Amino acid sequence: MHLLYLDESGGVEPPDGHPSATPAMIVLGVIVDADVLRSLTFAFMDFKREYFPARFPGEPSYDDILNEIKGARLLHQTRSNSRDSRRHADHARTGLLELVSRFGCQVVGRVWIKRPGERLDPDRTYTDSVWHIASQFSRYLERSSSLGFIYADGRSERQDRMLAHSIFTAKHGAVDDPCRRIPEVLAFADSRNHAGIQIADMLASMITLPIVTAAYGASPGTIHDSPRYAEVREKHGNALQAFPFRYFDETGRARGGIVVSDAVATRPSAMLFGASGFGAEVVSEGELEITIPVQAGAAATAGSVSPAR
The full set of domain ranges for the chain reads 2-305
* Pairing label, strands 148-153, 187-189: parallel
Under CATH, which architecture does the 2-305 domain have?
A: 2-Layer Sandwich (3.30)
pLDDT at residue 19, as a whole number: 95
Q: Please tell me the number of Cα atoms within 13 Å of 178 on its side-chain side.
A: 22
pLDDT at residue 308, as a whole number: 32
Q: Which residues pair with 301 in a beta bridge?
A: 292
DSSP string, 56-80: --SS--GGGGGS---HHHHHHHHT-
DSSP state of 25: E
Residues of the chain with confidence (pLDDT) below 50:
275-309
pTM equals: 0.87
Question: Which residues, at least 6 apart from 251, have a Cβ–Cβ distance to it below 8 Å?
Answer: none
Q: 86: how many CB neighbours lie within 10 A of its CB?
A: 17
